[in-house]
Amino acid sequence: MGAPTFSALPHYFKGGIMKESDRKQFIEILGMMGEIYNQDLSELKIKAYWEVLKDLDIEVISNNATKHLKTEKFFPRPSELRLNVSDSDVALLAYNTLYSAINQFGYYDSVKFDDPVIHSVIELMGGWMKIYEQEQDQWFEKQFISMYKALQHKKEHPEYIKGFFEIDNSLRGYDEFIPSPVLIGKDGKVLELPERKLLPEK
C-alpha cells in the first residue's frame, strides 16, 4: 500500500486532538467560566469535559468559550462548546483515523479505537481483514462516512475488532497466545502496543 493520504479536515480539527500540554489551558478556560457563572468544578467534572472535547483544537475550545460568555446566561454543557462541529466532520475525523491505522498495522493485529463507533462500521463492512484488502478510494471513504453517521448514535458497539492473529490462533486452539488489541487514539496515534507470546515449537 502507498503512503497515506487524508481528506481535508475542517479548521477546528487542523491542530489534531488536544495534547496533554493543552490541559492547563483547558482547565483555565473552564475555571474562568466557572468564576463568571458561579459554577463549582470538581475534578470529575473537568475530566468529563476533557474526555468529550479533546478531539478538538484548544483554540476552538477557547473561541467557543468566549462566544458563549458573550451570549449565554448559564455554564455551557460540552455540546455547547462544540459549536459548528457537525456529524459529517466527526465522521471524517474517524475515517482519517481508520485510514492511518490501516496503513500502520495491516490486518494482523486486533485493534481497539478509542472511538468505538469505528468498530461498528468495520464490522458492518466485513471486518478488519476485508477492509484492509479494499482499495481506500473515494467510494470507500463515502461508504465509511455514510455508515458512521448512521451508527454514531447507537448506544452499544463492539469492544474491539479481531485481527488475523487472534482469529487464527483461536481456531488452532492457541488462546493463550492471542495478543491484546492495539489501542488507537482519535488521531491514529498508538496508545498501547500489546505484548506478544511466541507459539511453541513443533
Give the phi and the psi of residue 190 in degrees, each rounded to 5.
-75, 125
Looking at 81, 110, 127, the residue that finishes a domain is 81
CA distance 13 to 187: 10
Tens-level pLDDT at each residue, the chain (202 residues) = 443 334 444 444 444 467 788 899 999 999 999 999 999 999 999 999 999 898 777 877 888 898 889 989 999 999 888 765 666 767 877 888 898 888 887 888 899 998 899 999 999 999 999 998 888 888 999 999 999 989 988 889 999 999 998 999 889 888 888 888 988 876 666 766 666 555 555 5
Q: What is the pTM of this model?
A: 0.60
Let me know whether 141 and 70 are in one domain.
no
Let me know whether 143 and 100 are in one domain.
yes
- CA torsion angle 60 61 62 65 (round to 10): 120
- Which residues, at least 6 apart from 38, have a Cβ–Cβ distance to it below 8 Å? none
Q: Position of cell 454514531?
A: 152
Let me know whether 91 and 188 are in one domain.
yes
> Total structural domains in the chain?
2
Q: Which domain holds residue 95?
A: 87-192
